[in-house]
Amino acid sequence: MERLTNERINRDLLAPLLKTGWRFYAVVLVSGAVVAWALFAWGWQLVHGIGVTGKRRPEFWSLYITNFVFWIGISHAGTLISAILRVTGAEWRRPVTRCAEAITVFALLVGSMFPIIHMGRSWLFFWLAPYPNWRWLWPNYRSPLMWDFFAINAYLIGSLIYLYLPLIPDLALVRDKTTGLRRRLYAALSLGWRGTEAQWHRLEKAVSVMAIIIIPVAVSVHTIVSWDFAMTLNPMWNSTIFGPYFVVGAIFSGIAALILAMAVLRRAFQLEAYLRPRHFNSLALLLLVMSLFWFYFTFAEYLTVWYANEPAEMAVFWSKVRGPYSPLFYAMVLCCFVIPAPVLAFKRLRTVPVVAFVSALVVVGMWLERFLIVIPTLGHPRLPFNWRGYSTTWVELSIMVGTFAYFTLLYALFTKLFPIVAVWEFKEGRHKEISDLKFEISDPDYERAHSSHV
Amino acid sequence: MPHWGMVIDLDKCTGCEACVVACRTENNVPLAGEEQTALGRQINWIHVERYWEGEYPEVKARFLPVLCQHCDAAPCESVCPVYATSHSPEGLSVMTYNRCVGTRFCANNCPYTARYFNFFRPAWEAPLERALNPEVSVRANGVMEKCSFCVQRIQQAKLDAAGEGRAVRDGEVKPACVQSCPTTAMYFGDLDDAESEVSRRAESGRAFHLLGELGTRPRVIYLKEE
């Protein structure tokens, strides 16, 4: 295998920016077409009304809010990997951070479209923003939707900064390797980075500060999203566990999405030397821990509801455990715990393809979990005369598939413009490893301490 | 200042739904049609819930007219992000249609499922648009609506009374549902006035609040069957 020299690292990691294969165009074309179809579906909805979706009385929220919570959950990938692992000094995070941070930003962008899409009068979405106006009208800060507005915007701005700062040295690297218009673009974006000692120091400081700030912001975001449900009077929504439950679920689905993205990128850009089995192994162990955590919270929630046996809550409970929603419920448990936990527990099974497959299951299972939180409760309000089942329509499904395509499209464009593995961070990591090793080997006490036959 | 409230005597209610029809006529409530009603898009500011009790041949139907309860501690009002629903000083839970952006959070937080959403643009087949009540606005696509205790009738009574230099008399204001009930099962008036019909009937031993244990403090008092 060719040695990982700086030249080789630059060549491998900058290749997607400098060369474009037919597969890239295919991905952009297909996802672009799906996005265009989804836009048509949304236009249809804007013209005709929310009635073209499956929403009805009493399920006033359905797939759009499910997807909203799902995507905001996925956005917790970046924070965990990048920020927490950076703060705790876990070196293996290095090739993974940018991939994760990009997922966060794009998942937030996609997710935050849904509150607008689900509104009856989407074109007035800006009324949720507190801006001075002639009629002295301000939004209602007591509404959890307003808390969403501030939390998600704060997290989006924070994540953008957190993505951009570590990108600067790599932007300078690309600037130095390109010419013409592209060079000018990267020169502008890299803010005149020269790689001086002082600049590195400032950058490390800034990134550390952002890493520490972004963690409580991320925790608060999904807690606040959970309070869209927990603050209501609805059976099986009004639960104190929702805050932590949603955060755990978000981290769980975020890691799974990250593993999936990494597996795809590794294949697509031949990054086997950078995204190595040990990265997938470490992430798989984290996924295992989150799966156990998720199971614990789910078990605690369902056990307490069942034991207290309160009629309004039991109606929702039974609809999930043995009623019309039970196939989805058991599929969720299968995808989130029954398969992942035992499979990930065995080192021999923690290979890249197996871990990627399990992550795909987790992503599906977590989407089902969001669905099963939103719809069964809404379908069983306190006055039983109003109970109703739910079915979806082409508009809702088109928009949902469209957002997945939009995410793919944004991500593909990102990999074309920016190196998906942080080049300087990776090089820094190798430099540290090598100098640590050199130090240990030159240490006279090393041989004495490490020899096994004295 | 009057604080409006309603009493519904379930012993007298026959489930005829005259109140439902009167309400939609008075308040320009659009018809959803058969297909959309089957899907659950029908708007009925007051609707009559029917529960079956017992086994054949001892079956009994029980009727419960449910409308917006105009709760003093309304769970719907705090969750609207744009203040499209708020509480008036006279105890009404009021809707500001033009402010509603259609997030439908209020609908989800009403434990009585008494709020309705315009899933499509409200439309009336000719010549039904000639029967629209000019005192009540026609709502737009994507906007929430619900019972207003016929606030237009309350306003009219207050204007008439002020014109004559007197207070509103008990029984002068009759929302459409109260007016149309053939068994006079419904009463409306000032709950703060101890002498009003609603106050006297609310003192009955049969009186209860629907889902009262939730602490919403509704202004509709039901009298359970004898």
In a domain, A443, yes or no: no
Identity of the residue in B103, B112, B121 whose CB atom sits nearest the CB atom of A49? B121
Cβ <8 Å between A127 and B101? yes
Looking at residue A4, what is its pLDDT?
80
**Confidence class of residue B24 from pLDDT cuts 50, 70 and 90?**
very high
Question: Which pLDDT band holds residue A447 (cuts at 50, 70, 90)?
Answer: low
CA distances from A56 to A212, A249, B112 (A): 43, 28, 16
Q: Could you give the domains of chain B?
A: 4-223 (3.30.70.20)
Whichever domain contains A36, its CATH number is 1.20.1630.10
State residue A446's pLDDT score: 62
Mean pLDDT, rounded, of chain A: 93
b vs e for A277-311, b when ≥16 Cβ sit within 10 Å of the residue's Cβ? eebbbbbbebbbebbbbbbebbeebeeebeeeeee
Token representation of residue A132 = 């001075």
Looking at residue A81, its pLDDT comes to 81
Domain membership of residue A444 (yes or no) is: no
At residue A25, what is the residue type?
A: Y
Q: Are the beta carbons of A49 and B142 separated by less than 8 Å? A: yes
Of the candidates A280, A262, A250, A294, the residue with the CA atom closest to the CA atom of residue A76? A250
Percent of chain A whose pLDDT exceeds 90: 80
Which chain A residues are closer than 8 Å to B220 by Cβ?
A: none
Q: How confident is residue A82, by pLDDT bands cut at 50, 70 and 90?
A: confident
Q: What is the mean pLDDT of residues B142-146?
A: 97
3-class SS of residue B183: coil
Distance from CA of A387 to the nearest CA of B (A): 10
Which pair of tokens denotes residue A327?
């196939």
Q: pLDDT category, A442, cuts 50, 70, 90? A: confident
For the segment A6-35, the average pLDDT, to the nearest whole number, is 91
pLDDT digits (tens, 9 = 90+) for A104-143: 999 999 999 999 999 999 999 999 999 999 989 999 999 9
Give the count of domains, chain A: 1
Q: A256: Cβ–Cβ under 8 A, 6 or more apart, which residues?
A: A287, A358, A359, A360, A362, A363, A366
pLDDT number for residue A453: 54
- SS3 percent helix, strand, coil of chain B, rounded to 5, is 25, 20, 55
**Which pair of structure tokens corresponds to residue B73?**
């501690």
Residues on chain A touching B144 (C-beta within 8 angstroms): 120
Residue A447 lies in a domain: no
The answer to whether B64 faces chain A, any CB pair under 8 Å, is yes
Asked if the Cβ–Cβ distance from A233 to B107 is below 8 Å, we say: no
Prediction ipTM score: 0.93
The answer to whether residue A319 is domain-embedded is yes
In a domain, A450, yes or no: no
pLDDT above 90 covers what percent of chain B? 97
Ramachandran area for residue A196 (φ above 0: left; ψ -120 to 50: alpha; else beta): beta
- What band does B127 get if pLDDT is binned at 50, 70 and 90? very high
Angle of helix A394-417 versus helix A63-74 axis, rounded to 10: 20
> By residue range, what is the domain housing residue A202?
6-130+137-433
Model-level pTM?
A: 0.94
A119 touches chain B (CB under 8 A): yes
If you count residue pairs, one on A and one on B, with CB atoms under 8 Å apart, how many are there?
134
Q: Is A58 on the interface with B (CB under 8 A)?
A: yes
Determine contact, residues A159/A75, Cβ cutoff 8 Å: yes
Percent of chain A with pLDDT over 70: 97
Query: Across chain B, what does the average pLDDT equal?
Result: 95
Residue A438 within a domain: no
Q: Do B103 and A115 touch (CB under 8 A)?
A: yes
d(C-alpha A291, C-alpha B68), whole Å:
43
pLDDT recorded at residue B108: 97
Residue B116 contacts A where some CB pair is shorter than 8 Å: yes
Using the predicted structure, report yes or no on whether residue A439 has a pLDDT greater than 80.
Answer: no
> Tell me: the pLDDT tens digits for B63-83?
999 999 999 999 999 999 999
Mutation site, B46, B86, B113, interface A, largest A CB count within 10 A: B113
The answer to whether residue A454 scores a pLDDT higher than 50 is no
| Residues 6+ away with beta carbon under 8 Å from A196 | none
pLDDT grade for A273, boundaries at 50, 70 and 90: confident
Whole-number pLDDT of residue A452:
59
Q: Is residue A445 part of a domain?
A: no
- Report which of A148, A132, A137 is spatially closest to residue B86, judged by C-alpha positions: A137
Q: Which residues of A touch B82 (CB under 8 A)?
A: 127-128, 137, 139-140
Asked if the C-beta of A48 comes within 8 angstroms of chain B's C-beta atoms, the answer is yes
